[in-house]
A and B are shown apart, each in its own frame.
Chain A
Amino acid sequence: MTHFVINIKNLTKNYETVAGVVPVLKGIDLSVSSGEFLAIMGASGSGKSTLMNILGCLDTPSGGIYELNGTDIQSLDKNSLASFRNSMIGFIFQGFNLLPRMSIIDNIALPLVYAGIPKEERIERARIMLEKVGLGLYGSYRPNQISGGQQQRVAIARALINRPKLILADEPTGNLDTKTSEEIMTLFSDLNTQEGITIILITHENNIAQYAQSIVHIHDGKIDFREPTNRMEERIK
């Protein structure tokens, strides 16, 4: 039997607005097994980010079941959710979301501060991570002193630092040019193939989605269909 990292049954999300209750997710069933690389595609407003935020324990569903690594998320309180995010999940956002006042190395080490890891170890691990994303020389820079592609690498290093089981990336290449996007995607697929990290990624671009193993298409709050990609073939081309 396959071990699922994510197990979702009939998940719904409604937003309360002045105009009334707006259903955004209308019953999602989704299982993601350990080591999988999944892309989510769909029209703007179809509910991709909403789903991603729930997967990342940043938002709570209105109904249905969400199990992450065997734990029912709805049974956790705010603090347990914070610990869960800290140790299980790495986030990567379209807008990078680095803290502008901190150096690159401190940005990368920040999740370890909240994990209660002593300073020497934090800095040591952050340095290793920085090397891994190819930015070894930039540790003391501030986020506004490096390019967008470099910032996204820093964000990836920060997402990876506490050795998460799951990486969630919401349009990570949305602000980057084609060449830089390809470099970032290569980094993702290496992480997936070499370290077996589970990755879920939202994108609007088909060639980006092709780096994944399969694509889930979302339409109007529901899963339309799920198809495999031919990753190996793409690479040979």
Chain B
Amino acid sequence: MIWSMLHEALEAMIANRMRSFLTMLGMMIGVGAVIIMSAIGAGAQEAVKQSIASMGSNLFIVLSGSTTSGGARMGSGATPTLTIGDAEAIAELPSIAEVAPIASGMAQVIYGSNNWSTTIMGSTPNILTVRNWTMESGYSFTDADVRGATRVALIGKTVAENLFGDENPVGKMIRIKQSPYQVVGVLALKGQSLDGRDQDDTIIVPVTTAQHKLFGSQFQGTVRLIMAQAVSADQMNEAENQMTELLRQRHHIRDNKENDFSIRNLAAMAASAADTAKVMSLMLGAIASISLLVGGIGIMNIMLVSVTERTREIGIRVAIGAHERDILLQFLLEALMISIFGSMIGILLGVGGAFIAENFLSMSVIFTSQSILTAFGVAATIGIFFGFYPARKAAKMEPIDALRFQ
């Protein structure tokens, strides 16, 4: 019985090829959109998660200049007020685990006939711990290099690729702003930061070297920023208060004056970035679901037309003994078949679309078999839900009225 009904539903679908296809198109687009959108949403969430992990945990950035005045930022980092001494003092605080001062700027780097413009960060070996950075090859410079302001450099993956290609950079000499530096190590790959910068496009040199030999005129003994890592996530507030108090003391700021520095909590920023990504992926899903709903309404519309068109057929079937549930099932199966075929093609479209997004638009996408199953399940439910009303309308027809219908 169910087989012959399935067969009939298939024939009805084929008999109205164009109409069935157009109705299916709604489901295809809906299901395809849900799959692409959820894959892109999940991909974006995962990318944010990775950036957060690559950033290092429980981090603060202390910048020169005050943060806000009535909500607007006042050029933080503009006039350098922070020193290596500040960094060392912060490191003494009980709530702080590690500290790395950073004096940075852009510079041209040359190796042989290759040259590359990149960010040079002057810091201490601590930066590797603070930023959760490992060495791919070679070794980090040491505190002795910092004390001696030696010309040594750690280079990021991007820099290594652009200057050295396949060559091993460790031990080689590069020129930064005309002066020779020895590459002592290559940093492991880190990927993009939260704001989309390439974190591997950088060179790290001892902070003293940066201050005195590279950007001397600019820093004059100060640093651009200080990175500080709290001992644990629940010491973050404590750490922020202690740092504020310490720096106000060290900078001799009176009680009624504003800070000449600002402290940014990167963990809080990371959390809000993760939230934003989550909301975005929910929104994408919601928008895609609307097109699925529209597809469902399309099915209902076409099924209503079909029921009216086939009133006489229904009359004949009822006259020769079809029960209400036979007619109901017949039209329900037709609606279901359209939505299931439509969603199967939609799944292919969605997977194909996400493939294009990944490979040609270089977006990160993540498929879960769950999202595909959900889209399929929802499509089937939509078929039943929107097919039910027209099917019931057909089943409830009085035989004599259906037969008389012209």
Residue B145 CB within 8 A of the other chain: no
Q: When the two chains form their complex, are residues A58 and B320 in contact, meaning their CB atoms are under 8 A apart? A: no
Return the chain B residue nearest A114 by Cβ.
B321
Give the residue of B11, B326, B399 whose beta carbon is less than 8 angstroms from that of A114.
B326
Query: Which residue of A is nearest B3, CB measured?
Result: A119
**Of residues B316, B317, B318, which shows the largest number of chain A Cβ atoms within 10 Å of its Cβ?**
B316
Say yes or no for A172: interface residue by CB 8 A criterion. Answer: no
Distance in Å: Cβ of A142 to nearest Cβ of chain B: 11
A59-B400, A114-B326 given; A85·B321 CB < 8 A: yes
Please determine whether B323 and A113 come into contact, CB atoms closer than 8 angstroms. Answer: no
User: How many angstroms between the C-alpha atoms of A85 and B323 in the bound complex?
Assistant: 10
Most chain B Cβ neighbours within 10 Å, of A56, A83, A97: A97
Main secondary structure of the interface of B (DSSP, over half): helix
B1-41 Cβ-contact flags toward A at 8 Å (1 or 0): 10110000001100100000000000000000000000000
0/1 per residue, B300-344, Cβ < 8 Å to A?
A: 000000000000110011111111101000000000000000000
Residues of A within 8 A of B318 (CB): 82, 85
Q: List the B side residues contacting A91 at CB < 8 Å.
A: 319-320
Name B12's contact: one of A101, A113, A119 (CB within 8 Å): A101
Indicate if the CB atoms of A101 and B320 lie closer than 8 Å: no
Residue-by-residue, is A108-122 near B (CB-CB < 8 Å gives 1, otherwise 0)? 001101111001000
B399 touches A58 (CB 8 A): yes
- Cβ of B324 and Cβ of A116 under 8 Å apart? no
Closest B residue to A96 by CB, please name it: B316
Partner of B319, one of A56, A87, A116: A56
Do B323 and A82 touch (CB < 8 A)?
yes
A179 and B12 alpha carbons, distance in the complex (Å): 36
Most B CB atoms within 10 A — which of A82, A86, A115, A158? Answer: A82
In the assembled complex, B280 has its CB within 8 A of some CB on chain A? no
B403 within 8 A of A: yes
Which residues of A41-61 are within 8 A (CB) of B?
A: 53, 56, 58-59
Q: Give every chain A residue within 8 A of B316 (Cβ-Cβ).
A: 97-99
Most central of B12, B321, B399 by chain A CB within 10 Å: B321
Is A79 part of the contact surface with B, judged by Cβ < 8 Å? yes
With A and B bound together, what is the CA distance between A99 and B400 in angstroms? 17
Query: Which chain B residue has the least Cβ–Cβ distance from A111?
Result: B320
Question: Which B residues are in CB contact (< 8 Å) with A83?
Answer: 321, 323
* Chain A residues whose CB sits within 8 angstroms of the CB of B3 once the complex forms: 119
Q: Is the CB of B324 within 8 A of A78?
A: yes
Nearest-CB distance from B4 to chain A (Å)?
A: 6
In the bound assembly, the distance between CA atoms of A172 and B257 in angstroms comes to 106
Residues of B at the A interface (CB closer than 8 Å) are: 1, 3-4, 11-12, 15, 312-313, 316-324, 326, 399-400, 403
**Interchain residue pairs with CB less than 8 A apart (14):** A58-B319, A79-B324, A82-B324, A83-B323, A85-B321, A86-B321, A87-B321, A99-B317, A101-B11, A110-B317, A113-B1, A114-B320, A114-B322, A114-B326
